[in-house]
Amino acid sequence: MENVNDFNSEQAKQEGSGILLIITGLVCAVLSMFFYPFIFGVIGVIMGILATQRGGKGGLAVIVTSIVLMGIGLFLSNTLLSYMTHYLGI
């Protein structure tokens, strides 16, 4: 009976850490749209991979979201830099 309880507690710990990894990955994905897209995007992808390995069901969604938002962030950073250079003289 103790082995079943130990298994359930280990499974609950893995699910809890998987949810934490998914939330961290999504936060990094959103941050990659505004600040340091390559760094936060890669961190988001890594969090998605780790969540998938631990059995998180949203790990693949975090990977895809991180890649898409990183691409948008890279495009916007270039656009914003061009805008600031042209109009603001920075």
Residue 14 CB-density burial (10 A; 0-12 exposed, 13-18 middle, 19+ buried): middle
pLDDT tens digits, one per residue of 43-63: 999 999 999 998 878 899 999
Give pLDDT, residue 35.
83
Q: Please write down the HEC assignment for all residues of 21-67.
A: HHHHHHHHHHHCCCCCHHHHHHHHHHHHHHHHHCCCCCHHHHHHHHH
Note the pLDDT of residue 21: 92
d(CA 19, CA 17): 5
Domain definitions of the chain by residue range: 2-88
pTM metric for this prediction = 0.72
Q: Is the pLDDT of residue 88 over 90?
A: no
* 20's tokens: 């934490």
Q: Quick one: how far is CA 40 from the chain centroid? A: 7
